[in-house]
Amino acid sequence: MLPTITWENDVVVMIDQRKLPQKEVYLKLRSVEQVALAIENMTIRGAPAIGLAAAYGLALATHQVKSEKNLDETFEKAYERLWRTRPTARNLFWALERMKRVFNKNRKQGLEALKDVLLAEAKKMDMEDLAMNMKIGEYGQRLVSDGDTILTHCNAGGLATAGYGTALGVIRAAVAHGKRIKVLSDETRPLLQGARLTCWELQREGIPVTLITDNMAGYLMKKGEISLVVVGADRIALNGDTANKIGTYSAAILAREHHLPFYVAAPLSTFDFSIKTGEAIPIEERQSNEVRKIGGKLITVADIQVRNPAFDVTPARLISGIITEHGLLRPPFGPAIKKIAGG
C-alpha cells in the first residue's frame, strides 16, 4: 500500500509527489502553514488525499496549542487557511467540515481531550478512505472483462487517496480477480500526473501500463485498442456532472464517439449535494509557468500568454456509470445520487 500521508511523532509525513518517479522523498510537515503550502504546490494532490491532508493539518494545529485560551482562534485560523488552498475538490471542504463538527461536539472536553479526538478523527478518515476505495474497486472490477484495455487520465490512484485509489482501485481489483488487463495512461499535461504517478504506481505493482500523450487516445480508440475509460473525480454535482483533471471531458467525448463505456470512480466524499449541476463547480486556474515549462524547463516563449484551467466538467450525459462505495450508479444520476445522499 502506498504511504500517501501519515502521522508520526506529532508531525504530518507525506511523500513528495512533485519528485516522483525520480525520487522517493518523504517530507515532515511541522505546521499547518506547511501543510497548506503542500496542498497548494501539489506536494500532495488528488481529491481524497487533499481532504486527508486538511484533516491531519487541523489535528496538527490543535496539537500545537499550548493554552486553552488560544484553542478556538488557532483552530479557526487553521480551518480558514486550509479552506483557501485549492477550490475544486469537494473532499477538501468535506474533510474540513467534518473535523469542525467533531471539534464543536467535543469542545467542552478541553484542550488535551480535543487533541486526541481530532487526531483520532483524521486517522479514522484515512482508514475509511482506504476501505471505501476497496469497495469501489470491488464494484468497479465487475465492469472490466478479461483482456480489456483501460484508458485512465491523471492519477486517481493510491497517491491521490489513502493508498488504494478510485480509478486505479478498479484496475487493482480487476487484476486481483485474475483479469488480464492492460492500462493506457494519459500523460496529463501540464503537471504529468499520468506519466509521473500513474505509470509509477502501476509499474511497481507489475500491472501492464503503457504511456500515451493526451492527444493519442482518439486514434487508439478508432483502431479498437481501448475497451473502456475509467477516471476519478474532484467534485460531482447532484445531476452527475463531474469535475476532474483537465482533459477528462475530451476523453469522455472521444469515448462517446467511439461507443466506449466511460466510468467515473469516486467516494461519497467527492459528491457535492448542494449544487444542482456542474455549472456551479469552481474551476481552479493555476500558474502560467506550469504550461510554459515541463519539468521546470521552459518549452516556449518566456512571456507567452497562457491559460491553465486545472479541471473541466464532464456532463452527466457522457458518463456511463459512477462507481461508488455504495455500488454502481447508472443514469439518470439525479435520483440515484439523491438516494445515496439519504434524501
Q: Which residue has the cell 486550509?
A: 82
Cα-Cα-Cα-Cα dihedral sign, residues 94, 96, 101, 106: positive
Give the binding range for ligand MRU (CB under 6 A) out of 102-110, 111-119, 160-168, 249-257: 160-168
With CB under 6 A as the contact rule, the residue among 244, 314, 320, 324 that binds ligand MRU is: 244
Which residues inside 175-204 make contact with ligand MRU, applying CB under 6 A?
A: 193
Angle of CA points 286, 291, 294, to nearest 5°: 125
235 near ligand MRU, judged by CB under 6 A? no
Q: Are 61 and 74 in contact (CB under 8 A)?
A: yes
Q: Which is nearer to ligand MRU, 103 or 333 (CB)?
A: 333
Catalytic site residue 146?
A: no
232 near ligand MRU, judged by CB under 6 A? yes
Would you call 296 exposed, middle or buried from its count of C-beta atoms within 10 A (0-12, 13-18, 19+)?
exposed
Give the binding range for ligand MRU (CB under 6 A) out of 43-51, 100-108, 179-187, 320-328: 43-51
Q: Three-class SS of residue 20?
A: coil
Q: Report in angstroms how near the CB of residue 88 gets to ligand MRU at its nearest.
A: 8
45 near ligand MRU, judged by CB under 6 A? yes
With CB under 6 A as the contact rule, the residue among 92, 245, 292, 321 that binds ligand MRU is: 245
Q: Are 61 and 73 in contact (CB under 8 A)?
A: no
Q: Are 137 and 21 in contact (CB under 8 A)?
A: no
> From the CA atom positions of the chain, what is the Rg in Å?
20
Candidate list 148, 186, 234, 241, residue with the active-site label = 234
154 near ligand MRU, judged by CB under 6 A? yes
Q: Annotated active-site positions, please?
A: 234
Chain contacts with ligand MRU (rule: CB under 6 A): 45-48, 89, 154, 156, 160-161, 166, 193, 232-234, 244-245, 310
